[in-house]
Chains A and B, each alone.
Chain A
């Protein structure tokens, strides 16, 4: 298995573990403003995805992402299936040439575009878009402008997503299930924004593990060499 494919499978497994650990937490958030099924649905979907990608024969990151998306699409159900799974399927095409900082940015941008398009949501609507937009913009800027190593960019993106998810607490939801509550949605963190944050945190943990480094978000980049990228070029 290629190093990148191996890392991608490890990332999916790590996300599945994290979501399983947060299952009750997510369900609790969803009981407050939705129908209390987000934790169970996501845990079921990611567990199934981890199982499926483990069976793949020498996969590349694009195949792992696509397979994960397909599995989520068929197992998560409701609107989360197309949002988390469908978006991943479409974004996976960006990785077909290999996993590089540039393709990772393309992947993140396409994922965001699909979620926004499907959910018809913008920043400030109290949905996962509130976590995704700062996440993707921060990641893109860190790679393209600040020119920091991918793992640093990922750490900065986690920070941004955390603030984005927290931003859904004081505002009134205008899209998604919580919007039916009107002003009563104020004071609750959006479950989709929260699970998005958990997914990204698990991605970052995987990247750190693989690189065997601990990177503070504000670390200045001096060594741009990331082993995983080298493997992708081969």
Chain B
């Protein structure tokens, strides 16, 4: 499979350098690490940090900026950053008010972050954690026990980042991050497999006339492999699964995300969003905001995920607060 890369071993390193070169006024890379932080970190507020394997761009470093993340650690493709990288990240983003670590629920990520947090705490840094597990598709999977953390993570970054920017204390920032986790659900699907730089060929075989429902963001198996379906049918399947999990009351306001997996034309994402909004309206749900784009990708996988997050006044204020990061702008 053709790839626009040099050496697979250098992909993450070269990507990070290129990302910083594109945003030198906002991003700074910590020397000898794969950690990227705000140029002005640490600030005198609660630091909000995240991180995980690479290959999900613009997650995570794309969300660094005022009102969102203070920094992010990038692991190798689909592998957790090591504990010392997380430790360097926490250290660089602690301005004395403590740090919130947003962790996607994968065993490697959780264990490495936990180790880093314990080490940081020994140095006197207050750290709280929010573990994101918004994927409603599967309980246990290839990389995790419990549900996986996927696109809903971006909303956790946004809400916690906005709260921290208001000057809230660590407990309060943690609370709103957890509030998003408690109110969000996501389900994804794939039309094609992703191709990792190292392997250079599809991670899994999906026939010309097959799709995978409930797919993870590393190409891990989902809930069902089925024949091709129309955009409307796929949207219905994903949305019904998410809504069944969230169990919302009629009239509930929601934020929705139609997220591209990396290899999906915007045209198709908008087609999905059209059906999603019609379906929500049929269900008596009230869309407060609808995001469409590539937020949490899986390299070059074709497919999408649908995220629904129930919002109240507090979450609307936080998720709607202005932010200007390389990957997300809210005005």
B236 adjacent to chain A (CB < 8 Å): no
Given contacts A90-B118, A179-B145, A180-B142, contact A73 B111 (CB under 8 A): no
A176 to B107, CA, bound (A): 8
Does the CB pair B141–A180 fall under 8 Å? yes
**Which listed residue (A70, A75, A79, A180) contacts B108, Cβ 8 A?**
A79
Interface of A is mostly: helix
**Which listed residue (B76, B114, B141, B145) contacts A82, Cβ 8 A?**
B114
A100 to B141, CA, bound (A): 44
Given contacts A86-B115, A90-B118, A119-B111, contact A81 B79 (CB under 8 A): no
B84 adjacent to chain A (CB < 8 Å): yes
Number of A-B residue pairs with CB-CB distance less than 8 Å in the complex they form:
55
A79 to B75, CA, bound (A): 13
Residues in A neighbouring B112, C-beta threshold 8 A: 79, 81-82
A176 to B111, CA, bound (A): 12
Smallest Cβ distance from B151 to chain A, in angstroms?
23
Question: Restricting to A68-93, which residues have a CB under 8 Å from any CB of B?
Answer: 70, 73-79, 81-83, 85-86, 89-90
A165 to B85, CA, bound (A): 32
Does the CB pair A118–B82 fall under 8 Å? no
Does the CB pair B83–A82 fall under 8 Å? yes
B80 adjacent to chain A (CB < 8 Å): yes
B140 adjacent to chain A (CB < 8 Å): yes
- CB-CB contacts of B112-125 with A at 8 A, as 1s and 0s? 10110011000000
* In the complex, residue of chain B having the shortest beta-carbon distance to the beta carbon of A179: B145
Smallest Cβ distance from A115 to chain B, in angstroms?
10
Residues in B neighbouring A79, C-beta threshold 8 A: 107-108, 111-112
> Which of B76, B82, B118 has most chain A Cβ within 10 Å?
B82
Residues in A neighbouring B85, C-beta threshold 8 A: 74
A189 to B198, CA, bound (A): 28
Interface of B is mostly: helix
Question: Restricting to B80-107, which residues have a CB under 8 Å from any CB of A?
Answer: 80, 82-85, 107
* In the complex, residue of chain A having the shortest beta-carbon distance to the beta carbon of B80: A78
Does the CB pair B80–A118 fall under 8 Å? no
* In the complex, residue of chain A having the shortest beta-carbon distance to the beta carbon of B144: A180
Residues in B neighbouring A70, C-beta threshold 8 A: 84
Does the CB pair B118–A81 fall under 8 Å? no
Does the CB pair A85–B83 fall under 8 Å? yes
Given contacts A89-B119, A90-B118, contact A83 B111 (CB under 8 A): yes
Does the CB pair A81–B82 fall under 8 Å? yes
Question: Restricting to B134-148, which residues have a CB under 8 Å from any CB of A?
Answer: 140-142, 145
Smallest Cβ distance from A142 to chain B, in angstroms?
30
Residues in A neighbouring B83, C-beta threshold 8 A: 73-74, 81-82, 85-86
Residues in A neighbouring B114, C-beta threshold 8 A: 82, 118
Smallest Cβ distance from A179 to chain B, in angstroms?
7
Smallest Cβ distance from B30 to chain A, in angstroms?
14
A81 to B111, CA, bound (A): 9
A75 to B141, CA, bound (A): 25
* In the complex, residue of chain A having the shortest beta-carbon distance to the beta carbon of B106: A79
A90 to B80, CA, bound (A): 21
- CB-CB contacts of B60-81 with A at 8 A, as 1s and 0s? 0000000000000000100110
**Which listed residue (B82, B115, B142) contacts A77, Cβ 8 A?**
B82
- CB-CB contacts of A89-133 with B at 8 A, as 1s and 0s? 110000000000000000000000000001100000000000000
Smallest Cβ distance from A93 to chain B, in angstroms?
9
* In the complex, residue of chain A having the shortest beta-carbon distance to the beta carbon of B141: A180
Residues in B neighbouring A86, C-beta threshold 8 A: 83, 111, 115, 118-119
* In the complex, residue of chain B having the shortest beta-carbon distance to the beta carbon of A176: B107
> Which of A86, A90, A180 has most chain B Cβ within 10 Å?
A86
* In the complex, residue of chain B having the shortest beta-carbon distance to the beta carbon of A37: B79
Residues in A neighbouring B111, C-beta threshold 8 A: 79, 81-83, 86, 118-119
Smallest Cβ distance from B175 to chain A, in angstroms?
24
Residues in B neighbouring A119, C-beta threshold 8 A: 111
Residues in A neighbouring B140, C-beta threshold 8 A: 179-180
Smallest Cβ distance from A165 to chain B, in angstroms?
21
A90 to B121, CA, bound (A): 12
> Which of B83, B114, B119 has most chain A Cβ within 10 Å?
B83
Residues in A neighbouring B115, C-beta threshold 8 A: 73, 81-82, 85-86, 118
8 contacts between A and B (CB under 8 A): A78-B108, A79-B111, A81-B111, A81-B112, A82-B115, A86-B118, A90-B118, A118-B115
7 tightest Cβ-Cβ pairs between the two chains A and B:
A86-B115, A82-B115, A82-B111, A74-B84, A73-B83, A79-B111, A78-B108
Residues in chain A within 8 A of chain B (CB atoms): 70, 73-79, 81-83, 85-86, 89-90, 118-119, 175-177, 179-180
Given contacts A82-B111, A175-B145, A180-B142, 17 further A-B contacts (CB under 8 A): A74-B83, A76-B82, A77-B79, A77-B82, A78-B80, A79-B108, A79-B111, A81-B82, A81-B111, A81-B112, A81-B115, A82-B112, A86-B83, A118-B114, A179-B140, A179-B145, A180-B140
